[in-house]
Structures are given as C-alpha cells and as structure tokens.
Structure 1
Amino acid sequence: MIRTLFSACAVLALASPAIVGPALAQSRYDERPATLQIPTAGMNYTRRIVDIPMRDGVKLHTVILTPSGAIDAAMLLTRTPYNAEKLSRNSNSGDLGTALYGYDNATDVIVDGGYIRVIQDVRGMYGSQGIYMMNPSPAGTKYNPTKTDDSTDAYDTIDWLVKNVKQSNGRVGVIGISYDGYEALTPLIHPHPALKVAVPMNPMVDGWRGDDWFHNGAFRQFGLSYIWEQIASRDVSVPWVASVEDQYDLYLRAGSAGALAKQQGLDQIGFWNKVAAHPAYDDFWQNQAMDTLLAKEPLTVPVMLVHSLWDQEDIYGATAVYRALEPKDANNDMVYLSMGPWHHGQEIADGSHLGAIDWGSDTAKWWRGHVLAPFLAHYLKDQPMDVAPVTAFESGTDEWQRLQAWPAAPATTPLYLQPGGALGFTAASGAATADYVSDPAHPVLYEQRPNAPQGYDNNPWPTWLADDQRAVSTRPDVLTFTGPVLTAPITIAGQPTVHLTASTSGTDSDWVVKLIDVYPDQVPSDRKMGGYQLAVAMDIFRGRYRESLSEAKPIAAGQPLAYQWALPTTNHVFLPGHRIMVQVQSSWFPLYDRNPQRFVPNIMFAKPGDYVKATQQVTVAGPNASYVALPVVK
C-alpha cells in the first residue's frame, strides 16, 4: 500500500505538464485573464453589447451607449454595414463625445441632447449573424425570397430596445448617412409604434436613377471597389488591391467595367453579378427604389430628409423621397427637408468650405444647432421647435432660407445654347449646330489627373463636384457656351432640366451637361477664385435610354433627336459680375464607364473593337435649339 502510493506520487512529480496537465499549464503561464473586467473609472457613459434576436432567430450585434445618470432618455438608432463597434468607439475615451466623434455621429447633438446612442451591425456584417444583401428588395419578393429585410430587422430591433433599455423613455429616432441613411428610411415601411422620428441624411435611394451605381443609365465605375470591399468578407478584411495609382490608367487599360470586374474577382460577388445583369431600369432597380416604396406607404412618422447640394455619391435620393412623401403631408408638419452646401456627409463635420469655396461660416454647425437639434428634441423629448418645413442654403448669397415647400420655382425659363459658344434667354434664328468628335480612347476627365483611388483622407473625391471646370472647358471635345456678364442677379431654386437636341454618327452616345457659375475675372478678396468655373448642377444621360429607361435601343445615326433629363437640385444666385455657362460633352471618365458609341447589348461587357469615335452635333439654333430650363425665382 505504501509502495503503491509512493510510486504514483513519483510519476506525477516527474511527468511533463504537457502530458498530464495541459489546461493547468496553460492557466499557469497565460498572462491574459480568463474574463476581462473593463475599467469604468472616469467614464461618463456605460457601454452595453447585446446580440438582439430577430423574428427568424438571427441575432444582430448591437452597441448601446447610455449617458451616466440617464433617466427617461430617448434613443437614437443607427443601423450600419460599417462596423458598430468602430462607430461607437472612434476614440478610446471615457468621454462619450470623444468616443462618438467621427463618421455617422452628429456628436454635439447626440451628447448635448442626452440621447442613448444605439448602433447596430446590419444582418450579415461584422458581428451580426445571417446573410448580407446590398439594399435588399422587400421580403418575400422576386429578388428577396427570404422572410426578412431591413424594415423587419429595424422593427424587431426597436421592439427589443423599448422593452429592455430601462433608462429610455420608450421613444426611438433613427438617423444615418449614406447607406446608413438608407437604413433610416427602411423603418418607415410598417413602422414600429415607438419610432417617433427619422433623419435620413444623404440616403441611398435609387441606385440607377442617380445614386451610387448609375446615373441615368451610365455606370459609376468607382462602385466596383466598394462592392468588393463591402461584400467579399463579413468584416471588410479583404481589400481591393490594384497596382495602379492613377485610376484613369487602371480603368482605361481594363477596357469595360465588366472586364475590370472580372480582373479583380468581382464575378464571385452576387451583387455585382446582379448589377451587371441589370444595366437598364428594370424591375430589379424599381422594386428596391425607396422613394417608390415609401410613396405606397401611409405617412405616420415625422421625417427630416437631409440633402447635400454637392453630394458626390448620393445626390438623387433625399429630394426624390421628399417628392414622394410631401404630397401626403396635408398639414405641412410631417415631412421636412434640409439642403446644405456640403459634400456627402459634411453636415456632421466642418461646413465652412467646400473645396475652394468659402461660405464665410460653419454652415454645418449652424444647421446642427438650429435645425437638427431642435427637430429631434421636439419629437423625442416634447421640447418646442421652430423649424421650417424646408431649410435651404442659398449659394451665391450664402444665406440660409426658411421655406414652406420645395422647389421654390418650376423649371420653365429656357436658357438657350447659341451659335459661336453664346448663351442667352432667346433662341437663335436659322439653323446651326455645334460639333465635336468624341473619342473613347481619350475620354474627358471628371477631375484632373492623377485620379487618386477613391477615399476620404487627403483625397479630392469628396469635393470634386465643386472643382474648377476650366480643367476641361477648352478641350476640343467639350462644347462651352457662355452668357454675358450679368448686371442683375438671377436666382434659381429647383431642378434645371436639360432639353438637348443632338445627333451622333454612332449608334449610342452619352451626354453630359453642366450648368456653371463663372466668377469675375478677378476676385480681389480671394484671388484663387478669379475666373473660377463652379458647377452648380451637372449630370450624365446614357442615350440608349432616350425612349425608355427600362429598355435600351440603338440611336438612329445622323438624326437630330431630343433628349430630356433633370439635373440635380440647386439653390443658387448668379450674382452681378458673374456669367452663366453651359458645357456639353460625351464622357466623364473614369468615374463613369465609357460608352463605346456603337450599340452593344450590354456596355458592361463591350469589347475593345466596339469603341469608336463619333461626331456629335448639338442643335443651337431654330425651333429645336437646345436649352436648359431653369427654375428661376421671379
């Protein structure tokens, strides 16, 4: 008995820890605690992480930031594909304002308002379970046969929040920018009773008509890198890799958008394959357009739509939703519109400048303090509010306006293109055209080379819409029409509409029209602005959709044909001493894919031999003279 016990002890003493006790050895030498306790000293908020169950059992990763001492506080919810953990911890700080500082957080309004901040990863992204679909169609439809969508997920999230966040007053507002702005629209479809207000800022609304993916049928190629990075992995850990710094070279060498997509591996990505298969405005795009969907819904939740007048990414969406919802607002007290002189998302940052343009004050800070803050406080905390149905910044005078409705004027004043590069409010008599040769091998740039990869840090992308158009105005393939020096101001407030009569020697063509404010030759107070050409509204139209947006058709070669489309919303005063200019061109590269100018079934997959030069003729005199109809305020 004694010998047996001694032998057993000896074996244990001599044996290697890796053999007899790996768990014991690991716990002995691991310097990381089994359960980490996060220190809270000095913090003015609590951070709670919850995986909220949806109706189908999928759990969505949610961060809840509650100010210390909060009682009966309202909640502000943002649903995002951009990492809830990061957006709720932009800086490692115990101060809530510092933690929230950054993208998608109107930090001063959120913190000063005492709101409980809730940020959630959408289904299939980062910490959330389930599959990810980009801007999915409503549940149970042709392009989304599942039983859930962003609307149902928002409903289930709000339902959980009001039942489980004890510091709340049971009221929820939704807010977000861009994709997150889209996510602030989806809860308006069958809204939860606790949803009291929505603030979609620069929302993705219609990806074909004029937001991220297309503009009037022309494909925005820079979406390729976004699609890859957003969908290739759940945590956006697989970067878009291209060994060409100048995007002009990258896209031109690849040829078509489809060829570059294949080169970069996007043929593995479901959403890209859908985009490539639906180049026209068919039911795929129509069934997910949020303005169309919301037009069918009753208006029960107050909403403030926020629009940037120089939004380089989603310039179509906010005003499109306003047009869809405003007719339902019988008392003019449910649908609000704010329009500022900003690029995409600049309303939560410094709004003093837009590229070279100095507004003379921080327009974004003013708007947050005088419009956004009281609007949220009114519907979430019953505080009084004095916010006009439309708050619009008027560029030129650089002043904020309080309006009852938008637009302030219809687009009924023709501004005619005239022979000799002239521009005026009467059509020239006789018959004349202005001609140029469009060569896909030498496309017109959307900004000066080198075209840096799209991004936000030290990058010209955010402000390119306000770039000086002199960079291209003297190219032989850009028609430039300039009016006389103004002796009195001309105010426009609405959507200018292009009425272009043109022919092409090809069988397909793109048309780009720009409405430009030309500054005086010298501006003593700001010398860099002397002669500056500021585009106040410009956009592209793909000619194959002249007869129908949903069906591409060849253009009859050599025949003058009528094209009509609306430019983005503008609210601008052309001041005395300035001149009005209109430019016309047929490419806008590399932002938009090149039109081969020979009709092919799908431009995404045009072959090198399909790209041909074309002679373009724009009618500038007679009864069919081309013009831009301006929304002139009388």
Structure 2
Amino acid sequence: MKFLTSIILTLFAISAFAQPGAGGPDAAYVKTNYTKYEYQIPMRDGKKLFTSVYVPKDQSKKYPFMMDRTCYSVAPYGPDAYKPSIGPNAQFMQDGYIFVYQDVRGRWMSEGIYEEMTPELEEHKTNKDVDEGTDTYDTIDWLLKNVANNNGKVGVWGISYPGFYTTTALLSRHPALVAASPQAPIADLWRDDAWHNGAFFLAANFGFYPGFTNRQDDKPTQRRGARFNPNAGSEDGYNFFLKMGSMRNTNVKYFKDTIRLWNEMMDHPDYDQHWKDRNVLIHLHDIKTATLVTGGWYDAEDLYGAINTYKVLAAKNPNTPIYFAMGPWVHGGWARGTGDHLGDVDFGGETAPFYRDNIEFAFFSHYLKGTPFNMPKVTTFETGVNQWRTYNIWPPAPAKEKNLYFLPGGKLSFTAPASVKSTFNEFVSDPANPVPYYAKPTMDMERDYMTADQRFLADRKDVITYQTDVLTSDVTLAGNIWANLKVSTTGTDADWVVKVIDVYPDSAQNNKFTTKDVKMACYQQMVRSESMRGKYRTGFDKPSAFVPGKVSPVNFELQDILHTFKKGHRIMVQVQSSWFPLIDRNTQQFQDIMKAKDTDFKKATHRIYTSKNNLSFLKVRVL
C-alpha cells in the first residue's frame, strides 16, 4: 500500500473518516440528528476564519463543544452538504456534542496568509500580534457567545497537522478549554517530520507538498492542490529519485520554484531561526487544560512530536492532568481500522478500538460531561509480547540505563570491549548506489518500513551488522535510545543511519498476516531506526565538516520504544550511510546539499570503531 496516498486521505479527511459524498450509516445518522451551520468568525486583527458547526437537533440539554482546527479543509462546503461522519469516532457523534471544524488562517475558505507551523508568540501586545493560540482563543470566545445551548466547555482534538493546532490551542489558555488531545502532533518540523537530524525525508515530502499547496495568497478558495506524479505508470521510486539527481533538481526539473513552502525547506537546511521559531515545545508552560497526547510506535511522520509533546507537558506542568497513550500504530492508525498488524507483524488482536473506546472517548467524556474516569497517566503497548502496560510516567521509573556495545567480529553485548587495539568496520559509501530503505521502494514512503524485514540487505557490503548471542531471557527496552558512534570518513560529510532489529529464531511460525513468500523464521523486524546528517554532530544550527581520517563522535537519539526481545531471539543493530529514497543522498562533501549539483556526489570510505579507546554503543533503558 502506498503510504502517501493513505496519509493524504487521512490528513484531508481525518475528522470525517471519508471524503464528501461517502455514504453509510454514519452519514445518515449525521443528517438525521444534526443541523449544520457555517460561519465566518472574526479574529482580533479583523481576519475571518471559515467554520462549520454541527449542532444536535435535540435541544433538550446543553452540549460541550468538540473542535478540530485543520489546514486540510473542513469540506464539504455549503450548509446542506454534510460530513459523512463527525467527531473523533462514532461514539462521540452518537453521544451528542456540538462539533466544530475550522479552516485555519490562510487555508481554504479562511482569510489571511498561511504560515507553515505558525510561529507562536509569548506576548500579544496589540491586535496585530496573532498566532494559532490567539485564533483559537477568539474562536472559542465567539462560539460560547453565538452558538446556543452549549454547556460552556470546549474540547479540541486533531491528528498530525491538526494535532499541531491542538497543541497550539493549549496556548490560547482560554478558561473554557478544559480538554485537548494532540494526536501525532508535529512539534518541531525540522526535527520531526520533514527533517530528521538534518537528513531530509525525500520520499515522504516530494509528492506531498504539491497536493498540500492549495493556495499561496490571501484569497479564500475551495481548490485543492494537484497531486504531483511525474512518474505516472512506474512504481520504481528508487530509480526515479536516483535519475532525478541532486535536490536542486526538484525545482530545476519539476516544481520550477512555484511552491513557496517547498522553497522554505530548501532554503533552510540548517536548524536556523526559521525553524527555531516553529518549535512549539518551548511554549508549553502554564497549561491548565487536561491533555491526552496520543501517538504510534510506528508513526513514520510524527513520532518525535507525540513523545516530546508529552514529555515537555508533563515536565513543565506538574499540576495539570497530562495523559499519554502509545500503541503499535502508523500515523493516525488509532483513528481508523483495527490496528491488529503492520506488514508481516501480528500485534495479537485489535488495538485501535481499545484506544477509541477506553481512552479517547473516556477522557473527553469525563472532562466535558463529568462521567466517571479512572485512567492511568500512561497507557502504552509493549510490542514483542503484545501487551498493554500502564505507568505513572514515561519513561517508566524502573527502566535503568545500560550500554549495548559494538564489538569486533560483528558482536553486540552489554559488556564493553576490553582490548585497546584499534578495531573498526570499514565500508565504501557510494551515492550512485545508495542503500534502499525498503525492498521495493515506490514513489511514496511505505507505511510498514518501520517494522519491515531487513534480510533484503544481507548482501550489501555497505550495511554493517552487529548482533547479540541468542538471548537466554527476555530483554525489555523502555524509553529512548541514543546512538553513540565513533566514526571516521575520507570525505568531509556523511550520513549515519542506525537501526535496532529484533531477530526471530528459526523456529518462529508464520502468522495470518505473513506476506506470501515470506518466512517469519529468522525474520529481522526493525524496531526503531533513525538518521543523522553528520555535519550537525556538534550542533544542529552550526554544521561542521569532518576532518578526513579523524575519529569523531556522532551521537543522536533514535527515540523511544517499549519492546521486548524475547528469549530465543537476538538483538541486532545495523549501521549504514544511506537510506534511499527515504532520505536524500549526502554528497559526502561539506556543502549545502539542497543546492548541490549532480557532479558533487563523491564516494567515501567510512569506519565505525569498536575498541575500548573508541567505543561505539547504544545507550538504552532496560526495564
């Protein structure tokens, strides 16, 4: 299944679960039980934001608001055109809420100029000092005064970009906002979604931005951006992007400098002030609203956003109810479907309905309607053993830091190497033959790459493997993982990709989701992975060149997991220097890669050191 197609459907219609015109029992229920209104709600600076409001026809009681602010359109437009489903899930629709959908500033039918991840302001001294927080405040204030039969309480939810707008809703600090659920929220676009430690996520973004860019001016429109497919008729994304050449060719050959948001990314490869202004995490203090942060362990889009939004909220707002839910899901996977598997990996049952019924609905129902509630602060799914776990805080307090060392001979161990003799693994990285991230990459990011079998790389000489002996007892990792590498290169820049893999025993049996021609015996399931553009090893805002041949530390976070490597399995770590076309290719020269020419790509020889004097290891938390 093509990841981007799924994501575009999700993002453009996550609040409705379907596009306009869809039928079914939910659609009939909405029309029978709700009346739709459309408003242009004025903001403090005079701009008006287009807002659709669905009000229960039964006016015998008062209802709380449930609001979704989105850059993906509140369509369908027109008072007689109804969404086929409303609310986070069907339980909300049937229980009765006033549902509010709003096109954010500068998008679709709302006025203003759109800013990607609008910079938030700490102070608002005049009516011209506006951001998503003030827009949310003004919207809530207007709704309370102009929509009849409300109970004075507001909840906000949203997934992905709407998750970001849910986070910024917290910054409105409106007293009526009593509950919010940022789900897979973008938190820091440079670190979170488009860029991963400076490496650009090419496959995920190349086809996305043309469709995302429905307008670049202050003229409201219902027009959608055109889905860009320069490779119609071919699914070979690896060869397409290889033939495309350098990143500057995205404009030279295709976009022609017509997409402002794309150009902003190409013009800001470093973590400069442009991106620092768009990091919403630094503003998450003095929050009084009960918050449920939701994410998926296999969210290829905004894993960082969910985990770090929770961690910052919990740390900076100790007296506020902050909840955290993480399941074995892809981006938005909890909102639809069953969540019973990803690719070949079986999660032992349906996990998404459990979240929708017992966590999401229970949370909002309690804070907006006063229903009983007794939910742990942290509810997470432990992959590997397929069990839900609850904790008071994340990461769990009992998890203790340990190091997993890379040893000579491809060994991996919790015991450090004893020899001071210089040992290393050496390989040639050739940008003309980059390591594929998936067995058969298409034009879009594959939604199951994060659990995919890594045996397709067995013959690659530019993928270095370390693994433990067969485990004699279960090993559970809970919390973030840090790669601590000692490396050298003959070039002046290099990418480093680290993957943590669960190697199944040869006795492992196929399950009902196992793909044809795949055997789960000796399966190499990727559990966590991350990339790092080496020139940012000393600071994301201050790139620095490698000195050829000099040993250098490269340290970066792989983000959190809760996974048990079962007795009889092995833990494997793979290190490589390309991951194509998931991330763009590094020229392996110290330069602005976004502006590089096709002739700038050079081969380089890389080393990973494994001796006592130059330790390479993963810092993990063992539960």
TM-score by length of structure 1 reads 0.86
Is contact 1:519-1:530 (8 Å) kept?
yes
Is contact 2:38-2:78 (8 Å) kept?
no
2:209 and 2:225 mapped to 1: Cα distance? 13
CA positional deviation for 1:421: 1.4
- Within the candidate set 524, 527, 538, 2:509 is matched to 524
Equivalent in the alignment of 1:311 = 299
- Within the candidate set 568, 578, 584, 2:575 is matched to 584
Q: Supply the AA of the counterpart residue of 2:96.
A: G
Aligned partner of residue 462 in structure 1, secondary structure: coil
Determine if the alignment matches structure 1 residue 338 to structure 2 residue 320: no
CA-to-aligned-CA distance 1:399-425 (integer Å, 9 cap, x gap): 111100011256721111111211111
Q: Supply the AA of the counterpart residue of 1:518.
A: V
1:301 and 1:41 mapped to 2: Cα distance? 29
1:48 and 1:40 mapped to 2: Cα distance? 17
Is contact 2:88-2:157 (8 Å) kept?
no
Q: Supply the AA of the counterpart residue of 2:200.
A: F
1:161 and 1:301 mapped to 2: Cα distance? 18
Determine if the alignment matches structure 1 residue 370 to structure 2 residue 358: yes
1:157 and 1:266 mapped to 2: Cα distance? 38
Is contact 2:158-2:181 (8 Å) kept?
yes
- Within the candidate set 265, 283, 296, 1:293 is matched to 283
CA positional deviation for 1:613: 0.7
Is contact 1:251-1:257 (8 Å) kept?
no
Equivalent in the alignment of 1:31 = none
- Within the candidate set 522, 526, 541, 1:535 is matched to 526
1:282 and 1:275 mapped to 2: Cα distance? 11
Equivalent in the alignment of 1:394 = 382
Q: Supply the AA of the counterpart residue of 1:345.
A: G
- Within the candidate set 201, 205, 210, 1:228 is matched to 210
Determine if the alignment matches structure 1 residue 159 to structure 2 residue 141: yes
Determine if the alignment matches structure 1 residue 252 to structure 2 residue 233: no
Aligned partner of residue 192 in structure 1, secondary structure: coil
Equivalent in the alignment of 1:569 = 560
Q: Supply the AA of the counterpart residue of 1:163.
A: K
Is contact 1:113-1:373 (8 Å) kept?
no
> Which segments of 5 or more consecutive residues in structure 1 lack a partner in the other structure?
1-38, 455-460
2:227 and 2:347 mapped to 1: Cα distance? 37
Equivalent in the alignment of 1:479 = 464
Q: Supply the AA of the counterpart residue of 1:385.
A: F
Is contact 1:437-1:616 (8 Å) kept?
yes
Aligned residue runs from structure 1 range 73-472, under 5 A: 73-86=63-76, 99-100=84-85, 105-138=87-120, 147-209=129-191, 211-221=192-202, 222-233=204-215, 235-243=223-231, 245=234, 246-265=236-255, 267-294=257-284, 297-331=285-319, 334-349=321-336, 350-408=338-396, 412-428=401-417, 429=419, 430-454=421-445, 461-472=446-457
CA-to-aligned-CA distance 1:543-574 (integer Å, 9 cap, x gap): 00111110111111111111111112100111
1:348 and 1:162 mapped to 2: Cα distance? 28
CA-to-aligned-CA distance 1:150-209 (integer Å, 9 cap, x gap): 212111111111112213211111100000000101111132121111100000111112
Is contact 2:286-2:317 (8 Å) kept?
no
Is contact 1:411-1:497 (8 Å) kept?
no
Superposition misfits of 4+ residues, deviation over 6 angstroms: 39-42
CA-to-aligned-CA distance 1:183-237 (integer Å, 9 cap, x gap): 101111132121111100000111112x221000111123233222222535323
Is contact 1:301-1:334 (8 Å) kept?
yes
Is contact 1:178-1:201 (8 Å) kept?
yes
Query: Are the structure 2 counterparts of residues 466 and 261 from structure 1 closer, same or farther at C-alpha, using a change threshold of 3 Å?
Result: farther
CA positional deviation for 1:427: 2.2
Query: Are the structure 2 counterparts of residues 87 and 505 from structure 1 closer, same or farther at C-alpha, using a change threshold of 3 Å?
Result: farther
Is contact 2:210-2:225 (8 Å) kept?
no
2:29 and 2:569 mapped to 1: Cα distance? 59
Is contact 1:109-1:372 (8 Å) kept?
no
2:193 and 2:231 mapped to 1: Cα distance? 24
Q: Supply the AA of the counterpart residue of 2:436.
A: L
Is contact 1:348-1:364 (8 Å) kept?
yes
Equivalent in the alignment of 2:538 = 547
Is contact 2:340-2:347 (8 Å) kept?
yes
1:305 and 1:569 mapped to 2: Cα distance? 15
Aligned partner of residue 133 in structure 2, secondary structure: helix
Q: Supply the AA of the counterpart residue of 1:545.
A: Y
CA positional deviation for 1:542: 0.6
Q: Supply the AA of the counterpart residue of 1:213.
A: A
Q: Supply the AA of the counterpart residue of 2:620.
A: L
CA positional deviation for 1:82: 1.1
1:279 and 1:375 mapped to 2: Cα distance? 39
Determine if the alignment matches structure 1 residue 556 to structure 2 residue 541: no
Is contact 2:37-2:52 (8 Å) kept?
yes
Query: Are the structure 2 counterparts of residues 556 and 224 from structure 1 closer, same or farther at C-alpha, using a change threshold of 3 Å?
Result: same
CA-to-aligned-CA distance 1:82-140 (integer Å, 9 cap, x gap): 11024999x988xx8xx217xxx532332243222111111222222222121121359
Once the two structures are overlaid, the 10-residue window that deviates more, 154-163 or 242-251, is: 242-251
Cα-Cα RMSD: 2.4
1:344 and 1:151 mapped to 2: Cα distance? 25
1:470 and 1:106 mapped to 2: Cα distance? 39
2:129 and 2:245 mapped to 1: Cα distance? 40
Query: Are the structure 2 counterparts of residues 112 and 485 from structure 1 closer, same or farther at C-alpha, using a change threshold of 3 Å?
Result: farther
Q: Supply the AA of the counterpart residue of 1:599.
A: F
CA-to-aligned-CA distance 1:259-318 (integer Å, 9 cap, x gap): 213322252232222222211112211121111222xx3121111111211101111111
Query: Are the structure 2 counterparts of residues 355 and 41 from structure 1 closer, same or farther at C-alpha, using a change threshold of 3 Å?
Result: closer
- Within the candidate set 23, 30, 52, 1:63 is matched to 52
CA positional deviation for 1:481: 1.0
Aligned partner of residue 446 in structure 1, secondary structure: coil
Query: Are the structure 2 counterparts of residues 411 and 224 from structure 1 closer, same or farther at C-alpha, using a change threshold of 3 Å?
Result: farther
Q: Supply the AA of the counterpart residue of 1:314.
A: D
Equivalent in the alignment of 2:474 = 489
1:88 and 1:385 mapped to 2: Cα distance? 38
Query: Are the structure 2 counterparts of residues 262 and 123 from structure 1 closer, same or farther at C-alpha, using a change threshold of 3 Å?
Result: farther
Query: Are the structure 2 counterparts of residues 479 and 77 from structure 1 closer, same or farther at C-alpha, using a change threshold of 3 Å?
Result: same
Higher relative contact order (CA 8 A, sep 6+): 2
Is contact 1:232-1:269 (8 Å) kept?
no
2:304 and 2:271 mapped to 1: Cα distance? 15
Aligned partner of residue 367 in structure 1, secondary structure: helix
- Within the candidate set 594, 604, 607, 2:597 is matched to 607
Aligned partner of residue 451 in structure 1, secondary structure: coil
Is contact 2:435-2:578 (8 Å) kept?
yes
Aligned partner of residue 325 in structure 2, secondary structure: strand
2:425 and 2:225 mapped to 1: Cα distance? 50
Query: Are the structure 2 counterparts of residues 199 and 360 from structure 1 closer, same or farther at C-alpha, using a change threshold of 3 Å?
Result: same
Aligned partner of residue 264 in structure 1, secondary structure: helix
1:287 and 1:411 mapped to 2: Cα distance? 35
CA positional deviation for 1:40: 11
Is contact 1:74-1:381 (8 Å) kept?
yes
CA-to-aligned-CA distance 1:12-38 (integer Å, 9 cap, x gap): xxxxxxxxxxxxxxxxxxxxxxxxxxx
1:389 and 1:544 mapped to 2: Cα distance? 39
